[in-house]
Amino acid sequence: MSEILIKNGHVFDVVTGIKGDKADIAIKDGKIVDKVSSKAKTIDASGKTVMAGALDIHAHVAGPKVNLGRWFRPEDKMIRGEMRGGIVKETTRMEQGFSIPSVFRTGYSYARMGYGFAMEAAMPPLYARHVHEEIKDTPIVDEAALPVFGNNWFVFEYLKEHNIEKTAAYISWLLKVTKGYGIKVVNPGGTEAWGWGLNCLGINDEVPFFDITPGEITKGLIEANEYLGLPHSVHIHPNMLGDPGNAPTTIDTMKLAEGYKAKNKFGREQLLHMTHLQFHSYGGTGWGDFCSNAKEIMDYVNKHPEITFDTGNVTLDETTTMTADGPFEHHLSALNHLKWCNVDVELETGSGVVPFIYSPNVFPCAVQWAVGLELALLAKDPMRTMITTDHPNAGPFTRYPRVFKWLMCKKTRDEQMAAFKHSGKVADATILNEIDRELTLYEISQMTRAGPAKALGLANMMGGLAPGMNADVAIYNLNPAKMPTDPEEIEKAFSLSAYFLKNGEIVCQDGQIVHSGTKKTFWVDAKAPESKQVNRDVREKFLRYYTVTQANYEVPDSYAPNPFVIEANANV
């Protein structure tokens, strides 16, 4: 079938070990191959950067709270009579939405930036059908979704008894019926407490009525995750997100992973993925003495190979926060007085959505911006460091190229630090000014390609350019031998790829979408010993407490018309 040869590009790839040398990349039938025939179509990548397609390990791009964010914010599309983010219509579907793009804009925007995979960060199981309807409608980019477990009544019951087998049997059932990818934990216990207007303020703060703590929930889920041998690890949004002085809670949470061993056949080594770590790396006691604790956090992360994390960089935009951390959103809205949405979900979770403006004139926002960058720059292992904006919470994912620019160019960071209204106070509260490090293209490729692929258990097929891997290839107008003096060119190059190939098909050329590809929905079939007791518990809870029937809860195959199913086997 289709043969393509990308010639003469400067390749940055962890898997093949090429660190900027010129190399040809051969593609056939959607995969990287050793070589192709003379009939292959050639792409001249001379003077350009070539990397595997990137992976976004955490973004809120599909599902009920994302959509609520979209429709309750007409002003995210149109502001002062102008379309936010500009009008873009090529030979494809209409695109709109700045911080919460429509599904078409989502797919096309990822493709323009050379991203081939996105993980929907939090799927409420009762709404799984909705998540998959949106995933199905999102063009080009492969997607998966992480169901949330940290506030689930079944999980509480089984982990209270410390019964890992039952927990695993339930998780296995739930992943299957929701077509989920792994175990997501959001504000463990806290969102259930929010069902009564309360919260859990630390890993030992008991969940009302359920007699279990966030620490116990998290540890139990880590054990269940390894018992099931899942491709990804537990992916956690710890308690106390966004609160000054939350760094100790974050470290307490990371410590929960001590003493376990990762057990899977996918090459995944971490036990706990800490998501949007920026929001969890704060010192101080209030907004006045708010400061960065990125160093304390990274001191721990650097010494603990069982931890991976994604940054959650603030981009200094007007954006939309949305999370399954219901109580956090209520507090945020009490702070900025903006419109607040909340949806608590029976037996499972909750969510909140609130617009937020990260203004450079507001002291805490400036500190947050610095913290996100500090985390990445202090990281000793780029393979365990992933770049995100917790889209759209800290900023839209379309700002990734801007984040790369800041990380690669100290000058741009210095300029922004000096431009803050309270620059002196910000400098005192952070250490960014003292960090000279500038990330290299190779390190960017680790943090956006090989690193997330490995953390997700997809290292054998994505995030690299070795023969046999998926032919997701991004070509950027950046010449490593002659890097631009104007850092804006870096941002521009990463925003509009010269070429992006998805599964060996050119989908983006000169920043224009030329083909919609055939996206796949990834999910994990975790095979575990069945538990008759769990089956009975499930049946009973549907009869007594849920408001849909068990038969209608399951997401049928038609919602993932192009599935990629990964089988995992329990380590019994």
Residues that bind another protein (CB under 8 A): 62, 64, 66-68, 70-81, 83, 87-89, 91, 93-97, 100, 102-104, 126-127, 129-130, 133-134, 137, 153, 195-197, 209, 330, 333, 337-347, 350, 353-354, 544-549, 551-552, 556
Minimum Å gap between C-beta 352 and another protein is: 9
Minimum Å gap between C-beta 7 and another protein is: 33
- CA–CA separation, 91 and 551 (whole Å): 41
Minimum Å gap between C-beta 206 and another protein is: 17
User: For another protein, which is the closer residue by CB, 130 or 237?
Assistant: 130
Minimum Å gap between C-beta 70 and another protein is: 5
* Residue 549 CB-half CA count within 13 A: 2
**353 near 329, Cβ under 8 Å?**
yes
- CA–CA separation, 102 and 402 (whole Å): 21
Of 285, 461, 273, the C-alpha closest to 383 is 273
Minimum Å gap between C-beta 354 and another protein is: 7
User: For another protein, which is the closer residue by CB, 272 or 345?
Assistant: 345
Cα–Cα distances in angstroms (integers) from residue 263 to residues 149, 244, 494, in the given order:
20, 35, 36
User: For another protein, which is the closer residue by CB, 337 or 482?
Assistant: 337
User: For another protein, which is the closer residue by CB, 309 or 397?
Assistant: 397
Phi/psi zone of residue 240: left (φ > 0), alpha (ψ -120 to 50 degrees), beta? left
CB neighbours (10 Å) of residue 152? Answer: 27
The C-alpha torsion from 209 through 227 and 268 to 403, rounded to 10°, is: -10
The H or E element spanning position 48 is none
User: For another protein, which is the closer residue by CB, 32 or 341?
Assistant: 341
- CA–CA separation, 452 and 310 (whole Å): 9
Pairing label, strands 307-310, 385-386: parallel
User: For another protein, which is the closer residue by CB, 332 or 379?
Assistant: 332
Minimum Å gap between C-beta 351 and another protein is: 10
Of 482, 388, 12, 437, the C-alpha closest to 490 is 482
User: For another protein, which is the closer residue by CB, 320 or 412?
Assistant: 320
Minimum Å gap between C-beta 561 and another protein is: 11
User: For another protein, which is the closer residue by CB, 336 or 479?
Assistant: 336
User: For another protein, which is the closer residue by CB, 61 or 164?
Assistant: 61
Strand order in the sheet with 385-386: 184-186, 234-237, 272-274, 307-310, 385-386
Of 145, 544, 540, 454, the C-alpha closest to 324 is 145
**290 near 364, Cβ under 8 Å?**
yes
Minimum Å gap between C-beta 545 and another protein is: 5
User: For another protein, which is the closer residue by CB, 142 or 443?
Assistant: 142
- CA–CA separation, 118 and 131 (whole Å): 13
Minimum Å gap between C-beta 346 and another protein is: 3
Bridge-partner residues for 476, per DSSP?
A: 49
Contacts of 71 (CB under 8 A, 6+ apart): none
Minimum Å gap between C-beta 560 and another protein is: 13
DSSP conformational letter for 450? I
